[in-house]
Structure 1
């Protein structure tokens, strides 16, 4: 984001960053190529789609190991995001 002399509302700035992150492709996350390929082959192309999945759903992706799932959880956490809880109802 460009620097400005006018102070910006930090909550607004955080919301803008989150919105951009959700609209970005999973390939833009700091994940290895094999993990990104697995997500894309499973039809998960955007971060907004990724956070709608539960850990159990990620575990069912072919050739996805626990290290891949843990790395996804870690990277999402670094961006203030998380997978959907298995006990919460889907927002679809």
Structure 2
């Protein structure tokens, strides 16, 4: 793929990512293919993106990226629960006390 992109003067990049990094509308496409498969082209702006799956691996708890994401989710959940418990949403505009 890199050779074809270079020949056609198209940008090429290789990326490692977790499934949650992909937009929700594309996640099922990635789940339903095997390593070595090429996904149907995805329209992006004036062009298309072409994805080839090199390999799929399950995340491991020892992976620093996974640990960081788990910690962030736990913090987000904790503070979300606190915010919903101790704050109230009010509709309307603030008025000045003049």
Measured against the shorter chain, the TM-score band is under 0.3
User: Which has the larger share of helix?
Assistant: 1
- Between the two structures, name the one with larger relative contact order (CA 8 Å, sep ≥ 6): 1
TM-score by length of 1: 0.24
User: Which has the larger share of strand?
Assistant: 2
TM-score by length of 2: 0.23
Larger Rg: 2
